[in-house]
């Protein structure tokens, strides 16, 4: 077992830039590593669906018993080019002018190291399936457009969290809507009464739409309020976006209804009209805490001295799209910290714990 190899692999991975949409160089390097380890690898050239030059990677390593799917994303947020990782006192970070890329290359490095150790020790293991995805950071797009036709596993681990031992088994639905208000232009100084003020209608609607924690399991937000135009023109157009998240589908639909009622009241008051578009970013899902899958995860953590715990999140990750395709998916921590910032770092000890956990879970 080689902690230094784990460190070297992680440093190699983060040193190859893979900002969302520009992942191909890293995809090709990772594909080669997986083949060298012994995976049967298939490319899924679906980058055009994500506006990316990269490809999803699906891999399979035969074993005994029930297979498990391991999933990570290959893209990073910006600034993620020219990363120069520094290892010091058991911590790996960047020089400070870029992110580190532990989100999510720590998960990828931990998976590859765990599989190497299984093979080197000739330890019998379950079949191991992998799915490494594009453009997770810009809308979970790689897993959204992934080819699930060859996926064999019923259970999946997504390695895209922070705390070692955290198991996110419940996640929220996430729906984004865009609203467009239409009025009538008129000269604001000469004949404002001839206009229909789209901006006023949109502003009234926003004022009457609740935001933040709107109940114990739901949040709402309004953003991107826009109504460009000259100061001497009654605004004929205004727009804003909304996001709705809830652990319960019925609740999220009720909150959408509340927002639309506020919009319709505002339009009726000012004589404006509106249109809207809706996009579902993720479905709500939950994995049964009493399932054998969760019990196996708990047992593997406990065998390495880590106390596991269940968590829920209003955020999104690839697990949401896996769940949509009938896969029991949970998200676990890799040890990454301060992600999406230039202060991002990871402790080597946490990475080692994650590798040991995977080794315990995958062996039979």
Which range has the worst mean pLDDT, 197-206, 255-264, 276-285, 330-339? 276-285
Give the model's pLDDT for residue 225: 98
Q: Residue 2 pLDDT > 90, yes or no?
A: no
Mean of the per-residue pLDDT values for the chain? 97
Q: What is the CA radius of gyration of the chain?
A: 24
pLDDT category of residue 1 using cuts at 50, 70 and 90: low
Residue 4 in tokens: 């230094």
pLDDT category of residue 144 using cuts at 50, 70 and 90: very high
Nearest to 277 by CA among 313, 318, 305, 240: 240
pLDDT category of residue 246 using cuts at 50, 70 and 90: very high
Give the model's pLDDT for residue 344: 98
pLDDT category of residue 154 using cuts at 50, 70 and 90: very high
Give the model's pLDDT for residue 169: 97
Share of the chain above pLDDT 90, in %: 98
pLDDT, one tens digit per residue, over 270-295 is: 999 999 999 998 889 999 999 999 99
What are the distances in angstroms from CA 222 to CA 52, 273, 299, 304? 28, 19, 42, 44
Instruction: Tell me which architecture the domain covering 3-171+284-362 has in CATH.
Output: 3-Layer(aba) Sandwich (3.40)
Q: Write the Ramachandran bin of 194: left for phi over 0, alpha for psi from -120 to 50, otherwise beta.
A: alpha
What are the distances in angstroms from CA 214 to CA 1, 153, 259? 50, 37, 12
Residue 270 in tokens: 């000012």
pLDDT, one tens digit per residue, over 41-99 is: 999 999 999 999 999 999 999 999 999 999 999 999 999 999 999 999 999 999 999 99
Domain 3-171+284-362 matches domain 179-282 at the CATH topology level: no
Give the model's pLDDT for residue 282: 87
pLDDT, one tens digit per residue, over 306-320 is: 999 999 999 889 999
- Can you tell me the mean pLDDT for 236-251? 97
Q: Which residues contact 89 (CB under 8 A, 6 or more apart)?
A: none
- Can you tell me the mean pLDDT for 165-189? 97
Task: Sketch the domain layout of the chain as residue ranges.
Answer: 3-171+284-362, 179-282
Q: Read off the pTM.
A: 0.90
Rounded Cα gap, residues 207 and 224, in angstroms: 14
In the CATH scheme, what is the code of domain 179-282? 3.30.70.360
**Residue labelled with tokens 């983060």:** 14
Q: Residue 7 pLDDT > 60, yes or no?
A: yes
């Amino acid at each position: 077992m080689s902690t230094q190899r784990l460190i070297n692999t992680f440093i190699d991975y983060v040193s190859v830039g893979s900002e969302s949409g520009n992942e191909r160089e890293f995809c090709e390097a990772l594909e080669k590593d997986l083949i060298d380890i012994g995976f049967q690898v298939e490319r899924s050239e679906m980058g055009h669906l994500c506006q990316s030059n990269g490809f999803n990677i699906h891999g399979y390593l035969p074993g005994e018993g029930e297979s498990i799917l391991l999933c990570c994303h290959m893209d990073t947020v910006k600034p993620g080019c020219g990363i120069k990782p520094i290892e010091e006192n058991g911590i790996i970070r960047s020089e400070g002018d870029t992110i580190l890329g532990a989100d999510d290359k720590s998960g990828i490095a931990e998976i590859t190291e765990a599989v190497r150790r299984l093979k080197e020790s000739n330890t019998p293991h379950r079949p191991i399936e992998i799915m490494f995805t594009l453009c997770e950071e810009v809308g979970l797009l790689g897993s959204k457009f992934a080819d699930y036709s060859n996926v064999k596993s019923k259970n999946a681990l997504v390695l895209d969290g922070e705390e070692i031992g955290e198991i996110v088994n419940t996640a929220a639905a996430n729906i984004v809507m865009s609203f467009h208000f239409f009025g009538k232009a008129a000269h604001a100084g000469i004949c404002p009464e001839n206009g229909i003020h789209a901006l006023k209608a949109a502003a009234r609607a926003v004022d009457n739409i609740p935001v933040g924690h709107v109940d114990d399991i739901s949040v709402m937000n309004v953003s991107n309020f826009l109504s460009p135009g000259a100061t001497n023109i009654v605004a004929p157009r205004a727009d804003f976006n909304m996001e709705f998240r809830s652990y319960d589908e019925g609740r999220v639909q009720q909150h959408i209804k509340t927002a639309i009622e506020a919009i319709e009241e505002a339009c009726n008051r000012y004589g404006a009209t509106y249109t809207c578009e809706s996009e579902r970013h993720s479905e709500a899902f939950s994995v049964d805490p009493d399932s054998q899958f969760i019990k196996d995860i708990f047992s593997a953590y406990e065998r390495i001295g880590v106390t596991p715990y269940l968590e829920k999140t209003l955020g999104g990750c690839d697990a949401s799209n896996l769940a949509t395709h009938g896969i029991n998916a949970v998200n676990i921590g890799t040890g990454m910290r301060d992600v999406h910032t230039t202060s991002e770092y990871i402790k080597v000890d946490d990475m080692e714990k994650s590798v040991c956990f995977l080794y315990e879970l995958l062996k039979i």
